Amino acid sequence: MPCAPQASIPREIEDFFTVESGQTLLIKGLPGTGKTTLALEIMNSLCEDRNGMYISTRIDPRRLYATNPWVKEVVPPKNVVNATQGKLLESLKGIGKDISNYYAVLDFFKVFFDEAEEMDNPMIIIDSWDAVLNYTSHLIGDGQHSFEQNICEFARDLDTHLIFVSEFSSVMPLDYIVDGVVTMEQFRLPGYAEGSMRSRYVRQIKLEKLRGVEIGQKTYTVTLHNGRFRFFEPYREHTDARIASDGMRVPDPKADRISTGIPDLDTITGGLKYGSCNVLEIDHGVGKRYYQILTALASNALKNGRGVFILPSIGYQLSKRDIFVPTNVVVSSPEGEDPVAWGEGLREKWDELRERTGRPILNIIGLDSIEFAFGYKAVLNLVNLMISNWKETNDINVLVVKSGQESMNMAVHTADAYLLVNELNGGLCLYGIIPRTEPYYMLLEERNRISLTPIV
């Protein structure tokens, strides 16, 4: 996986504004979806310092800088235009009845440029275009589309990028006039009913059209975390499991909890309690990509001197040569036809490992493997035994379940912590059901470090 610094806006949008001068982009979406933040982030990424102009019908400079202090370098205070209805009417007073006249557009922008700093390569945001039309509808009348056409021609003529922000989510004539259209969306994760414990809202950007640019990916997951727009590249890591020594050791967060090996996950969960049962549910489409979570967990436990027992999930292949302290790791799969006898053998292996390391061990158990080998009833009996054992030994336990398997119903009732990993726009999204958390986007960064960014 590439570890280059993450760009803040999708490559397609960046290419769109560099392939041609004088591009016009329409950003659409319902209120609160992040249109303004995206527009400002585009400006911040692509516009020269002090060449940004923000014409707003709903925000003045003071409020803009209070919520987005980082735009000040690009958009100086004089270039934040508070487009009140009075000012908009003044800008159009000279046009008479001929709104289709190109000179009307010159007059329109002149009023705003009069107050702004001089700019050699301006980039302009009009936020929102709906409000501009609403304020001036009695003047513009039937000439709206000619006016919009002329504004786009003005941008091309002046080699100036122009961004319209609109709250109309349906297709409108302006969609056909501008060079590019993107839509910001906030939606509930599919498959989960409103209000259910698995239901979460996430954000995405949809690239509808970008003239002159090949759209590689139509939708990207995005976040407005810390008031900044950020998109996420797909998570493509599909390597087999290995427990290597690379990566930083993460200290345990508290005396009674061990680290997950992922600092962001420690912050979210507070770490894994001694004697706790923690469930990691893997949704369809995640594939092997969840291995990285288990690798980080096991690897860090070894670094902190713990023994690790692994009962692999179906498909989770782990050979001795992929483990950096093989003596402290036991890998065992279900054997034989008698689950009770197999369970007894399991207990012996745990005891041996615990004695060797002199402290509670970490158990990573693929419930799907047990269910496949012995059936659901056997899983129930075994887990009952395991839990009573763990409470006595203080072992830390992670049960891996796959969405849809029967064991999942039982696991949710036994869990001290329950995390769900699912696929989202080619990436991975992780969130807590117990305790309930917001969704996080999972990224693999340098030295196999996993980071989690809230999707808010």
Partner 1 sequence: MASYKEKILDVIGQAEVGLTTVDVAKKAGVSKTTVIKYLSVLSSEGLVEFVEVGPSKLWRSRGMGIKQKEERVQTLTVEALPKVDIDFCSEEDNALRFSFQVDLDQIRTILKRADKCMCKKEDALLIED
Q: Taking the CB of residue 430, how many other CB atoms lie within 10 A of it?
A: 24
Between CA 428 and CA 424 the distance in angstroms is: 6
Q: Name the DSSP letter for residue 237.
A: -
Between CA 262 and CA 449 the distance in angstroms is: 7
Give the DSSP H or E segment for 287: none
Question: How far are the Cα atoms of 33, 65, 409, 416, 419 from residue 439, in angstroms, in the given order?
Answer: 16, 28, 21, 19, 10
The answer to the question of residue 157 lying near partner 1 (CB under 8 A) is yes
Between CA 325 and CA 319 the distance in angstroms is: 12
Residue from 4, 114, 170, 348 touching partner 1 (CB under 8 A): that is 114
Between CA 109 and CA 88 the distance in angstroms is: 10
CB of 209 to partner 1, least distance (A): 19
The answer to the question of residue 343 lying near partner 1 (CB under 8 A) is no
Residue 55 or 172 having the CB closest to partner 1: 55
Between CA 452 and CA 442 the distance in angstroms is: 5
Residue from 14, 15, 130, 153 touching partner 1 (CB under 8 A): that is 153
The answer to the question of residue 116 lying near partner 1 (CB under 8 A) is yes
The answer to the question of residue 97 lying near partner 1 (CB under 8 A) is no
Between CA 454 and CA 441 the distance in angstroms is: 6
Residue 125 or 417 having the CB closest to partner 1: 125
161-166 vs 24-29, strand pairing mode:
parallel
Q: Name the DSSP letter for residue 34.
A: S
The answer to the question of residue 159 lying near partner 1 (CB under 8 A) is yes
Residue 113 or 274 having the CB closest to partner 1: 113
Going edge to edge, which strands form the sheet with 201-210?
80-82, 52-56, 123-127, 161-166, 24-29, 180-188, 201-210, 219-223, 230-231
Question: For the chain, how big is the Rg over CA atoms in Å?
Answer: 28
The answer to the question of residue 109 lying near partner 1 (CB under 8 A) is yes
Residue from 63, 78, 110, 447 touching partner 1 (CB under 8 A): that is 110
Interface with partner 1: number of residues (CB under 8 A): 22
Stretch that binds partner 1, among 110-118, 186-194, 298-306, 429-437 (CB under 8 A): 110-118
The answer to the question of residue 155 lying near partner 1 (CB under 8 A) is no
Residue 111 or 367 having the CB closest to partner 1: 111
Per CB under 8 A, contacts with partner 1 among 120-149 are 120-122
CB of 268 to partner 1, least distance (A): 48
The answer to the question of residue 23 lying near partner 1 (CB under 8 A) is no
The answer to the question of residue 54 lying near partner 1 (CB under 8 A) is no
In a 3-state reduction of DSSP, which class is residue 266?
A: helix
Residue from 160, 166, 276, 422 touching partner 1 (CB under 8 A): that is 160
The answer to the question of residue 377 lying near partner 1 (CB under 8 A) is no
Stretch that binds partner 1, among 6-14, 156-164, 210-218, 380-388 (CB under 8 A): 156-164
Geometric angle at alpha carbon 388, from 386 and 393, rounded to 5°? 85
Residue 29 or 76 having the CB closest to partner 1: 76
- Residue 132: closest CA among 77, 82, 181: 82
Stretch that binds partner 1, among 104-112, 221-229, 233-241, 430-438 (CB under 8 A): 104-112
CB of 121 to partner 1, least distance (A): 7
Residue from 15, 20, 60, 107 touching partner 1 (CB under 8 A): that is 107
The answer to the question of residue 20 lying near partner 1 (CB under 8 A) is no
The answer to the question of residue 113 lying near partner 1 (CB under 8 A) is yes
The residues, ordered by sequence, that sit 6+ positions from 81 with a Cβ below 8 Å of its Cβ are 53, 54, 55, 56, 87, 112, 115, 116
Tokens at 424, concatenated: 């989202």
Stretch that binds partner 1, among 37-45, 67-75, 107-115, 323-331 (CB under 8 A): 107-115
CB of 93 to partner 1, least distance (A): 12
Between CA 313 and CA 403 the distance in angstroms is: 13
The answer to the question of residue 337 lying near partner 1 (CB under 8 A) is no
Judged by the rule CB under 8 A, the positions of this chain that interact with partner 1 are: 94, 102-103, 106-107, 109-110, 113-114, 116-122, 153, 156-160
